[in-house]
Chain A
Amino acid sequence: MSTTTVEAPKSTLSQIIAAGTHQRVLAFASLVVLLIGFSLASPNFMQTSNMLAILQATSVNGVLAIAVTLVIITGGIDLSVGTMMTFCAVITGVVLTYAGMPLMLGVVAAVLTGAACGACSGTFVAKMAIPPFIATLGMMLILKGLSLVISGTRPIYFNDTPGFSEISRGSLIGEVFPALPIPNGVLILFIVAAVTAYILNRTVLGRYCFALGSNEESVRLSGVNTDRWKIAIYALAGSIVGIAGLLIASRLNSAQPALGLGYELEAIAAVVIGGTSLSGGRGSILGSLIGALIMAVLTNGLRVLSVAQEWQTVVTGAIIILAVYADMMRRNKTN
């Protein structure tokens, strides 16, 4: 990681955006190449239903990747997003199924639970100076345990809340354009991406996010309450994880308390493929979105080609290493 430039917090917004564009073009090109490659290899790949399946498979991982991007840009890491997602889903289950509250309250509960969990992680990192890796590792286990305790280790089903499965499975777009039944889960993914990209690139919070990742000390020395901003960023990431919790619960029509481990690594992989630097200060939401799409296209494509499952995993790992290596080579050149 010696190649990473430590950007001064003064570095202008336009520079950051310009650097980002470059990565996004690369990642997008890779995605297109993959799509073309798989289409040529199997006539069954490029079907509307399969493309919708890929988008549906991206929705949860994509939202998680967006959340974790924020934390990674600050120079941190969040290992708790997978089990936090489950925890939010379980809380939604408690609110909707056990307490019988209206749908909207379940949605609010998921987002607020995520924000609260994120604020906890942020507090551990900022106020207690625990390294993010350890703080979020702890949170990962705490939330996994709490999900099991609260649910009594049983899945909570949403059969009594008829509209709930529509959050992810229904299709508002399909009602307007019947030829294009894009599931709501995908729509939500894109909305979350757009809003988060706006926050990251156009607001003070976003600017501090990059600044903290580039040079936290100088931000602190210039009189900014870095702890507060850091907690705010973790809380924002947490509330996005809450949305992922809603998506997965809605898709499965149940909150599965044991699920969640392993999802954080896939989200981090998507972020890295999208060109966000693990050393902080650099990254983009669009990149992570494309990274998540690349992962989903790859997994689905290899399955449609009936590649043995052992090899699917090998290929995915190789792609992650290649993507990061190519990105570092490119930065070496531009430096």
Chain B
Amino acid sequence: MLSRRSLIGALSVTVALASAPAAYAQDEIYIPMISKGFQHQFWQAVKAGADQGAEEFGVRITFEGPDNETMVDRQIDMLAAALANNPAAIGFAALDSQAAIPLLRQASEAGIPIIAFDSGVDSDIPMATATTDNVAAAALAADMMAEFLGGEGTVAVVAHDQTSRTGIDRRDGFLNRMESEYPDIEVVSVQYGAGDQLQSTEVAKAILTANPGLGGMFGTNEGSAIGIVNAVREMGAEGLTIIGYDSGKAQTDAIREGLMAGAITQNPVGIGYETVKAAVAAMNGEELPDIIDTGFYYYDQSNIDDPEIQAVLYD
């Protein structure tokens, strides 16, 4: 009857001892980063950038995020655990900014600077936000699309959602640029596929069926773009210009084989790096801009293997 007690005891002590050195080094500068996700390749690329920054500035970081982007309360638990370790600063990508505000306020009252990354927090607590200018990035996608279509025709958008900041900014960035600059291009449909590859495939197929002769489609994130590619493959549609967003193996493959014209990529590595850099600057009392633009690129068959592009793509 002692077995469970002793087994759990032994295990916990092992874990504790294994990580004790890290925990005891109190004089080092510790910056926890609480992300929106963890397993997704995009977040792993953000982590890689943060690790790079940590090494350069001589700080220790941890990088955590909930299993999926709906687990708002789990993210708050992570923030609470991070606060227990007396961090020098915190990097935070809010799933729901309102829900996190009490803890963020507690941190800022304790004098811990907060740097938001990826998406903003609707409050003045974060000292800066390291993020992609999604409106400008989607406008670039519209420019490229117009170039391929020769300034006329019909296009459709498969967006990931109509509620998140990134979903709204990318959709509107694309639509507004089309409306203001390219009067002969008509946006015939904007549909939402939740960023899920399968769901986006169905949405894209419905659009293709409803709009024969469609000139181009824009997918606002990895899942949406891959959904369009899948739909075109399954229906054997031809002559469609596809522009995607972010990367991932399926999308880069589609670009290499010419099925997809090109895609916008954010700079996830830059997001991670700039967050750590800003956190260190904030700790040292330096002034920071409200928004740190981490940049974006358009890539296609011609430049996909450039070192500059390869550095920000992920599989």
Task: List residues of chain A with CB under 8 Å of any chain B CB.
Answer: 22, 26, 29-30, 33-34, 37-38, 40-45, 47, 49-50, 53, 56-57, 60, 153-155, 157, 169, 248, 251-254, 256, 258-262, 298-307, 309, 315, 318-319, 322-323, 325-327, 329-330, 333
Contacts and interface: CB of A to CB of B under 8 A. Distances in A.
Nearest to B60: A306
Contact of B8 (A38, A258, A323): A323
B4 A44 contact: no
Interface stretch (B68-76, B230-238, B268-276): B68-76
Contacts of A322: 4, 7-8, 11
Q: Which 5 A-B pairs have the closest CB atoms?
A: A326-B4, A41-B16, A53-B80, A303-B81, A37-B12
A309 B64 contact: yes
Interface in B18-45: 19-20, 22-24, 26, 38
Contacts, number: 154
A29 B7 contact: no
B84 A38 contact: no
B23 A306 contact: yes
A250 to B, nearest CB: 11
Given A33-B8, A256-B70, A304-B23, A26 B1 contact: yes
Candidate in B3, B8, B62, B86 with the most chain A CB atoms within 10 angstroms? B8
Contacts of A40: 16
A59 to B, nearest CB: 10
A37 B10 CA distance: 9
Q: At the interface, is chain A mostly helix, strand, loop or mixed? A: helix
Interface string B37-68: 01000000000000000000000001111011
B163 A252 contact: no
Nearest to B100: A252
Contacts of A325: 4
Nearest to B23: A42
B13 interface: yes
Given A49-B83, A256-B96, A262-B71, A305 B16 contact: yes
B3 A329 contact: yes
B78 to A, nearest CB: 7
Contacts of B285: none
Contacts of A260: 70
9 contacts: A26-B4, A44-B86, A53-B81, A60-B73, A248-B73, A262-B71, A299-B81, A323-B8, A333-B1
A95 B117 CA distance: 34
